[in-house]
Amino acid sequence: MRYAVRAGDRELTIETTPEGRFLVGDRVVAADLAEAVPGRVWSVVVDGEAHEVAFLGDDRVWVDGDEVRIDIADERTVAAGRAGGRAASARQELRAPMPGLLKRVHVAEGSAVHEGDALVTLEAMKMENELRAAHAGTVARIAVAEGTTVEGGALLIVIRSE
Amino acid sequence: MRYAVRAGDRELTIETTPEGRFLVGDRVVAADLAEAVPGRVWSVVVDGEAHEVAFLGDDRVWVDGDEVRIDIADERTVAAGRAGGRAASARQELRAPMPGLLKRVHVAEGSAVHEGDALVTLEAMKMENELRAAHAGTVARIAVAEGTTVEGGALLIVIRSE
Amino acid sequence: MRFRKVLVANRGEIALRVIRTCRELGIATATVYSDIDRLSPHVRAADEAYPIGGAAPRDSYLHIERIIAVAKRAGCDAIHPGYGFLSENADFADAVAAAGIAFVGPPGTVQRALGEKTSARRLAAAAGVPVAEGTMEPLRDEADARTVLERVGYPVLLKPAGGGGGKGMRIVRSAAELPAAWRAATGEATTAFGAPALLMERLIEHARHVEVQLLADAHGTVVWLGERDCSIQRRHQKLIEETPGPSVDDALRATLGAAAVTVASAAGYVNAGTVEFLVAPDGAFVFLEMNTRLQVEHPVTELVTGLDLVALQLRVAAGEPLPFGQPEVRRSGAAIELRITAEDPFAGFLPQAGRVDFVRDPSGPGIRLDSGLAVPLTIPTEYDPLLAKLIAWGPDRPAAIARARRAAREMIVAGLPTSLPFHSFVLAEPDFVAGRYDTDYVARHWDHPRTPEITEGAALATALAGLARLRAGPRPFVGDTTPWSRSAREDMLR
Amino acid sequence: MRFRKVLVANRGEIALRVIRTCRELGIATATVYSDIDRLSPHVRAADEAYPIGGAAPRDSYLHIERIIAVAKRAGCDAIHPGYGFLSENADFADAVAAAGIAFVGPPGTVQRALGEKTSARRLAAAAGVPVAEGTMEPLRDEADARTVLERVGYPVLLKPAGGGGGKGMRIVRSAAELPAAWRAATGEATTAFGAPALLMERLIEHARHVEVQLLADAHGTVVWLGERDCSIQRRHQKLIEETPGPSVDDALRATLGAAAVTVASAAGYVNAGTVEFLVAPDGAFVFLEMNTRLQVEHPVTELVTGLDLVALQLRVAAGEPLPFGQPEVRRSGAAIELRITAEDPFAGFLPQAGRVDFVRDPSGPGIRLDSGLAVPLTIPTEYDPLLAKLIAWGPDRPAAIARARRAAREMIVAGLPTSLPFHSFVLAEPDFVAGRYDTDYVARHWDHPRTPEITEGAALATALAGLARLRAGPRPFVGDTTPWSRSAREDMLR
């Protein structure tokens, strides 16, 4: 099976062989992988270089003291990505990261937003938190009204990128 | 169900009621039990008194910083204990606590031993360790010869107490 | 007099901190917990623990009557409030005293004089300590604010008058910004302190936040224990604190120390307290506020002085004199504290809730960890996002920073985002390492992408571990099914 | 000169200790591991790790050629041996030097002169430092031993001449005991040091084991950093160490310090080293041996002096002068170290093997933990049973003891018996607390049943938790199946 892996700011194409070896790009890598904490921490030694990798969350990884994102796609997903992958990412959903009170909505449906624009103010943990747009786009939908108390994970705003 | 529990140097008779309450001796105890680390650590609050209990091993328990043994028997076992329980404890098995070399056997089959008498010397972890009798009795069997390398858990000597 | 049992009216790392000192002194401890805190570490650590109500602070940790009722029921002779919650609530201090229980902190009268921030400004100014230009009484309304603004000039800081700690502050750089800032600051002041009152101060740009730790006993002795630079802040709240302050020379240190003692003496202060100053780039300083409680960052002072501030608080609260005077205070080396918070530094330090399901504590030479973490532990949204404090000591500042950085990179907290990546960044960032920073540091330096540069080898290791994890499939973590538990269960549960 | 990469030729907590300092100094680290140590923490902590052979020490951590080959392959410019293993092997020091690599320790010639214990006795005696009555050459045979015995008188100590650290020692109190003691000591000397040679010393009864920490550079500077009392021992091996020694006054401290410097100077000593003495109840002392390496208990000295001994070792090994002289050495407060070992204190400190499946680290004010533990971790029988060192600092001895006790009672290690219950006992035992102890302490005081007295409440809580555990039945520990891992697996692994 072939995988496209993004780890931090690097992209790797890795093919696993039935003998348990790895083809990274066109280089065969003899890696010694040991699971130190089941499902959580791996020790990886490649040519004497020792690394420790801990999984922190959905796509967050700790490696040798640095925290990076990881994204793994297999060859089918990679192939499909040209068509479907893009379309999916064109729709951006802003969800409440925690329960709180939606104090203010700074945008209207149909308005254009730039990356980093404040979308709403959520009061939670005794603080007002401004939630911002991750990408530019157009506000397609405002799902919750100002003054509403929302649960963590509740959909707040939908933005369409193209 | 009724249980006889030995915790450290204390013995308690505890009856659990279908409503989840505890009858300790003839006193009803309203205990708040919370499992802090699944299968491992419990927080127990009784009338405001807060205790932390961690299970360390087969019968070893950590409670508020002290290490004690725990032994739980249900009413059937308790009842059977008058007959069978005694008989079982009359046979004492000395097993190797770790792999090592049985350097010397200090007793012979049929010899009488007192509590604390050295039975064998096991060389392990670069040290000579004397294993001693936990109770007085008679050596019924020597299972391993001097100079033998033994696995951890291997039966070394059987002592009969009555 | 010595306390027999202390009620620790707090939660999290500070409750554990206080319980630890009590245990070392042979003093029994009781604590309180809200409905969602039954499994919190402080409940397990204390000798006694009592439920006091719902998750919302006003129903539990801010509920004065219930807390005092617990203290009476448990037979406590003192209450330690920690920081936050009721620690600076004068009514609470009064109620504790009225119940015949010792309050570990200054009396209500002192708290009242210093807790209302314009009153504190008046007190400092009257004692001859410089204060920033601005209002010496709470603002009446937005129109009043506009009048003051015209006199003071831009930029100004709009601050809650009812309480400190950096909550609810807003910078106003033009007349147009005033309405929104007024609205936001009023709202947050009400939420945080139950009082909408605001004051206005001329903003000192590129200032450093430098504070002086004090101890005062009931017999008139006031000593200062050195300063802390707490300029590394987000939302006017501290993330990293260190002592000595890298920009503070001996002369400034002595001046600030004397000014702090002047304020405390003028207020009739008793117990541990902190006088906060802003220091301008030219070394000029103004009084900011006095915190009438133990600070989050007190451990850096403990590491360089060798003192236990909680033990000294208890001693003072019991009416004893301080066991030393100013000449006996010794400071040695440098210390730095990292506040490990449940916040996402990659998303504007947005507070995070979630379940911590794996932790690796850092340790080793020069490292102290004051942690409120346990595994597993659900981090709620209701309370402060502080999870743990990593504190490093070294013979000098570079050594303390090197140790803090080494330890921060050892620490692993899984289950929700934390401030750790921010700390690793700062401790290697040249301006911070050179001691060149002020309260704008985070805004100026932290614009950090989620993809820090890692080596090719680290990326490969990450990718391979990711694939291995995917292949391994789900399986239980470190097992709880010892042979004993299995056979015992089979025997007994049929 | 400064090292770029150091090979840490050890395992466990000491390998982590050395790696931590290297990291703080910006020095890269490589390490080695035996077949059973692939998952040991030091392999994960180092920048590079290389397998060097089988589980048995002679196939891996004692294999000189393989270790030097790794150092060369990895491009290391220095080797730190830690303690134990090859740290006092003169041939190793010579081989490292011959390979053009810096050895972090004294040269082979010095190690040889001090490593053979009768040679060390001759050296000390010639320098005018008192030694115990006994043999100044290795004993030829049991008959020779009998002759010496008649001259010296009972009781005597039979000790390996080939190495120290308390291994393989036997007390002989009568002629009848000699044959068995001779046989046991010869055997253990062969096992531990590869040499059966023994020496005999008059036993000093009720003595304290007091040692002096030294640092010597290659430029002739020798400084002493204070003493440690290490009298709490089982099998002549240390369990608890503290500084200052409770029975050591300023005069004795200065005398021992000067004697230690005399021995080191006479030997041409370089790097960190420890001179061990026995101190009789009347204050008379004799030289015991000199340990030509870092000691397990070096952290107590670090805590009271503020120095990093590993950093100073590296500096000295790089040929640099010590950055301070004797007058600059400052000591402050008291420190105590608990060796948390995989031994069952309820069964004669029998070493334990097994799998550690749950740990709670102690921390907080005054606590340093140097741990080699991880969860899960299999503790093998092949190596030293030391798991972790809990070290406490306080402004004075009672404060250090109170903190150590508080922290020891916080710590939880599950999966195999450890020495923790012993430590909790000692730290509350009146003779120890009063500082009244000597090397017979464990034999005299520790006869502890497996059923310490606990309160009725604690017993009830234990019983209820036991029943709850029984009822809950088996279930997975803190889960690793995050929504991501589950869905990703479903997506990808079909």
Q: What is the pLDDT of residues A106-146, one digit of tens each?
A: 888 888 888 778 898 888 766 677 788 877 888 888 888 88
CB-CB under 8 Å, D333 with C332: no
Supply the ipTM of this predicted assembly: 0.90
Pick the catalytic residue: C66, C208, C234, C293? C293
Task: Give which of D354, D350, D464, D341 is closest to D411, Cα–Cα.
Answer: D341
Q: Dihedral angle at the C-alpha atoms of D65, D69, D71, D75, nearest 10 degrees?
A: 160
- B134 band by pLDDT with thresholds 50, 70 and 90: confident
> Tokens 């301008």 appear where?
C280
> Between D278 and B127, whose confidence is greater?
D278
Given a cut of 80, whether residue C475 has pLDDT beyond it is: no
CB-CB under 8 Å, C467 with A46: no
**Nearest chain B CA: its distance from C187 CA (Å):** 38
Residues of B in contact with D421 (CB under 8 A): 66-67
- Please tell me the distance from the alpha carbon of residue C284 to that of residue C268, in angstroms, as a whole number: 26
Residues facing residue B157 across a β-bridge: B94, B142
What is the reported pLDDT for A103?
A: 87
Given a cut of 50, whether residue D30 has pLDDT beyond it is: yes
How is residue D217 written in tokens?
């550079």
Query: Which residues of D form the catalytic set?
Result: 293
* C152-191 burial code (b ≥16 CB/10 A, e <16): beeebbbbbbbbbbbbbbbebeeeebbeebbebbbbbbeb
Per-residue pLDDT of C223-246, as tens digits, reads 999 999 999 999 889 999 999 999
**Nearest chain B CA: its distance from D426 CA (Å):** 13
Residues facing residue B160 across a β-bridge: B91, B138
What is the reported pLDDT for C265?
A: 98
Task: Count how many Cα atoms sit within 13 Å of the Cα of residue C40 in the half-sphere of its side chain.
Answer: 28
The pLDDT > 70 percentage for chain C reads: 95
What is the reported pLDDT for A81?
A: 56
Nearest Cα residue in chain D from C402: D24
Nearest Cα residue in chain C from D299: C365
**Edge-to-edge strand ranges of the sheet holding B137-142:** B91-95, B155-160, B137-142, B112-113
Number of Cβ pairs < 8 A linking chain A and chain D: 53
Given a cut of 80, whether residue D50 has pLDDT beyond it is: yes
What is the reported pLDDT for D86?
A: 97
CB-CB under 8 Å, A55 with C167: no
Three-state secondary structure string covering C165-219: CCCCCEEECCHHHHHHHHHHHHHHHHHHHCCCCEEEEECCCCCEEEEEEEEECCC
> Tokens 């006790």 appear where?
D405
The pLDDT > 90 percentage for chain A reads: 35
What is the reported pLDDT for A92?
A: 74
> Tokens 């289950």 appear where?
C415
Average of per-residue pLDDT across D280-291: 96
* Under 8 Å between Cβ of B46 and B39: no
Per the prediction, chain C carries an average pLDDT of 93
Given a cut of 60, whether residue B26 has pLDDT beyond it is: yes
- Please tell me the distance from the alpha carbon of residue C102 to that of residue C93, in angstroms, as a whole number: 9
What is the reported pLDDT for A78?
A: 66
Highest mean pLDDT range out of A145-154, C256-265, D134-143? C256-265
**Nearest chain C CA: its distance from D364 CA (Å):** 5
Interaxial angle between packed helices D108-115 and D250-267, expressed in degrees from 0 to 180 and rounded to the nearest 10: 120
Given a cut of 90, whether residue B136 has pLDDT beyond it is: no
Number of Cβ pairs < 8 A linking chain B and chain D: 187
Nearest Cα residue in chain D from A65: D45
Measured on CA atoms in the order C133, C137, C141, C147, is the torsion positive or negative? negative
Q: Which of C48, C375, C481 sits opposite B50 (nearest CB)?
A: C48
**Nearest chain D CA: its distance from A57 CA (Å):** 7
Residues of C in contact with A51 (CB under 8 A): 457-458, 461-462
- Burial tier of B14 (Cβ tally within 10 Å: 0-12, 13-18, 19+): buried
- Please tell me the distance from the alpha carbon of residue C186 to that of residue C193, in angstroms, as a whole number: 10
What is the reported pLDDT for B124?
A: 75
What is the reported pLDDT for D494?
A: 28
Q: Give the phi and the psi of residue D296 in degrees, each rounded to 5.
A: -50, -40
What lies within 8 Å, CB to CB, of D114 at 6+ separation is D106, D120, D123, D267, D269, D289, D290, D292
Q: Does C488 touch chain B (CB under 8 A)?
A: yes
Specify the long-range contacts of residues C421-430, CB closer than 8 Å, at least 24 apart: C421/A66, C421/A67, C421/C345, C421/C346, C421/C448, C421/C452, C422/C239, C422/C345, C422/C349, C422/C446, C422/C448, C423/C239, C423/C240, C423/C338, C423/C340, C423/C390, C424/A65, C424/A66, C425/C452, C426/C232, C426/C240, C427/C401
Q: Give the phi and the psi of residue D357 in degrees, each rounded to 5.
A: -120, 5
Given a cut of 70, whether residue B50 has pLDDT beyond it is: yes
Asked about C66 being catalytic, the answer comes back as no
Task: Give which of D51, D494, A66 is closest to C462, Cα–Cα.
Answer: A66
How are the residues of chain D apportioned to helix, strand and coil, as percentages rounded to the nearest 5?
40, 25, 35
Nearest Cα residue in chain B from D359: B56
Task: Count how many Cα atoms sit within 13 Å of the Cα of residue C232 in the half-sphere of its side chain.
Answer: 28
The pLDDT > 90 percentage for chain D reads: 87
* Under 8 Å between Cβ of D241 and D300: yes
CB-CB under 8 Å, A49 with D39: no
Given a cut of 90, whether residue C425 has pLDDT beyond it is: yes
How is residue A73 written in tokens?
């796609």
Residues of A in contact with C457 (CB under 8 A): 46, 49, 51
- Listing DSSP states for D187-225 in one string gives HHHHHHHS---EEEEE--TT-EEEEEEEEE-TTS-EEEE
Taking CA atoms, D3 is separated from C291, D33, D215, D393, in Å, by 47, 22, 19, 31
Locate the domains of chain D by residue range.
5-104, 133-202, 334-472
Number of Cβ pairs < 8 A linking chain C and chain D: 128
- D184 in helix, strand or coil? helix
- A89 band by pLDDT with thresholds 50, 70 and 90: very low
How is residue B97 written in tokens?
């606590």
Average of per-residue pLDDT across D10-27: 98
Domains present along chain B, CATH in parentheses:
2-79 (3.30.700.30), 91-161 (2.40.50.100)
Given a cut of 90, whether residue D334 has pLDDT beyond it is: yes
- Please tell me the distance from the alpha carbon of residue C487 to that of residue D494, in angstroms, as a whole number: 37
Q: Where are the beta strands (DSSP E) in C301-427?
A: 334-341, 343-344, 350-351, 354-356, 358-360, 367-371, 377-379, 386-394, 412-414
Per-residue pLDDT of D174-216, as tens digits, reads 989 999 999 999 988 888 888 899 999 999 999 999 999 999 9
Residues in chain A: 162
- B78 band by pLDDT with thresholds 50, 70 and 90: low
Task: Give which of C192, C3, C7 is closest to C89, Cα–Cα.
Answer: C192
- Please tell me the distance from the alpha carbon of residue C7 to that of residue C64, in angstroms, as a whole number: 13
Q: Which of C44, C48, C485 sits opposite B48 (nearest CB)?
A: C48
Q: Is there an interface between B and A (3+ Cβ pairs < 8 A)?
A: no
CB-CB under 8 Å, B36 with C44: yes
Per-residue pLDDT of D79-111, as tens digits, reads 999 999 999 999 999 999 999 999 999 999 999
Give kind and range of the element (H or E) at residue C16.
helix C12-25
> What is the third-level CATH fold of D5-104?
Rossmann fold (3.40.50)
The pLDDT > 90 percentage for chain B reads: 35
Q: Which of B31, B33, B63 sits opposite D454 (nearest CB)?
A: B63
- Burial tier of A74 (Cβ tally within 10 Å: 0-12, 13-18, 19+): middle
Residues of B in contact with D347 (CB under 8 A): 97
pTM of the model: 0.89
What is the reported pLDDT for D430?
A: 97
Q: Give the phi and the psi of residue A160 in degrees, each rounded to 5.
A: -105, 135
Residues of D in contact with C302 (CB under 8 A): 365
Residues of A in contact with D49 (CB under 8 A): 45, 48, 50
Q: Which of D409, D461, D474 sits opposite B51 (nearest CB)?
A: D461
Taking CA atoms, C369 is separated from C344, D141, D404, in Å, by 21, 55, 15
- Please tell me the distance from the alpha carbon of residue D1 to that of residue D23, in angstroms, as a whole number: 17
Interaxial angle between packed helices C117-126 and C108-115, expressed in degrees from 0 to 180 and rounded to the nearest 10: 90
How is residue D394 written in tokens?
């306080």
* CATH number for the segment(s) C133-202: 3.30.1490.20
* CATH number for the segment(s) D334-472: 3.30.470.20
**Edge-to-edge strand ranges of the sheet holding C198-202:** C170-172, C156-160, C198-202
